[in-house]
Amino acid sequence: MKEKNATSEEQNIHTDFKENMTYGDYLQLDKILNAQQRLSGHHDEVLFIIIHQVSELWMKLILHELQAAVTAIHDNDLSSAQKKLARVSKTQSQIIQAWDVLATMTPSEYMEFRDSLGQASGFQSFQYRMIEFALGYKLPHVLKIYEKDAALLAQLQQAYEAPSIYDAAIAALKRNGLAIDDCVSHRDFTKSYQENESVRQAWITVYQNPKTYWELYELAEKLVDIEDWLQQWRFRHMKTVERIIGFKTGTGGSSGVSYLKKVLDQRFFPELWDLRTEL
């Protein structure tokens, strides 16, 4: 049987873009692909820049989905919130895998251009801070880092003062008839969330009666997924840093690996983890 010419079957492919938008135009690839400006002449600095730029793009998507999920929960559309949170978890897996690529860079290679970074550090990532805020972990001193940019500081301040995804989930517990202390419902959202007995009992009730509270049960598991993946990201971050610079101080002035090990102990949704021991 005579093979068909693939080209002859694709006569309708558009090739004239003098007046029309192209794929590159839509994605603004001219800006994206020209945003890797090395400060040294070292080959591996391109890898270093791209890994961090891609991670920031993924974090932008995470924030987009978390903010939409909070709105959906407030609107009592828990199934929509669950889908958005599931997307967050899949996105987190992409960021985790990025560390494997960065880990192909050796200590000797990194030291060739590390001084070019000055005091710039991933510690200063404002999107990462906004993700922490969205999950309920809030420390006022980190806002000082962003005083250089008034517009950015205002954006961060708004996120800092807003209820977290966990606050939204706790409000959903209360709307569904589960007893939540008023001190939790009306708490100061600029403070990191602290464990509460009424919240613990409410989640235990949900987990003991999943058929009755199916959407809350599924919502809780999506939140656990997100915290699980975030801690895996932090662990891979810590091990990659240790692999490349050991226990040197970070470019941003942090203690480096020692600091990254400490944050592994941070918890966002404590009752959802503690109840596993009690069930």
Query: Where are any strands of DSSP class E within 43-95?
Result: none
- pLDDT value of residue 18: 81
Q: Given the structure tokens 């708004």, which residue do they identify?
A: 158
Complete domains list, the chain, with CATH: 25-277 (1.20.58.480)
Binding residues for substrate: 48-52, 110, 114, 251
Token reading at 56:
């920031």
pLDDT tens readout for residues 47-93: 999 999 999 999 999 999 999 999 999 999 999 999 999 999 999 99
pTM of the entire predicted model:
0.92
Lowest-confidence pick of 4-8, 108-112, 246-250: 4-8
**pLDDT computed for residue 3 by the predictor:** 54
The mean pLDDT value of the chain amounts to: 93
> Does 15 score more than 80 pLDDT?
no
Confidence band of 16 (pLDDT split at 50, 70, 90) = confident
Checking if the pLDDT of 249 tops 90, the result is no
Treating both helix axes as pointing N-terminal to C-terminal, what angle do 126-135 and 165-175 enclose, rounded to 10 degrees? 20
Q: Where are the beta strands (DSSP E) in the chain?
A: none
Q: What is the pLDDT of residue 2?
A: 54
Residue 26 banded pLDDT, cuts 50, 70, 90: very high
Q: Cα–Cα distance between 267 and 278 in angstroms, integer?
A: 18
Reported as a pLDDT band with limits 50, 70 and 90, residue 5 is: low
Binding site: residue ranges?
48-52, 110, 114, 237, 251
**Where is the binding site for heme, in residues?**
237
Residue 151 predicted with pLDDT over 90: yes
pLDDT of residue 4: 57
Cα separation of 161 and 155, whole Å?
Answer: 10
Does position 273 have pLDDT exceeding 70, yes or no?
yes
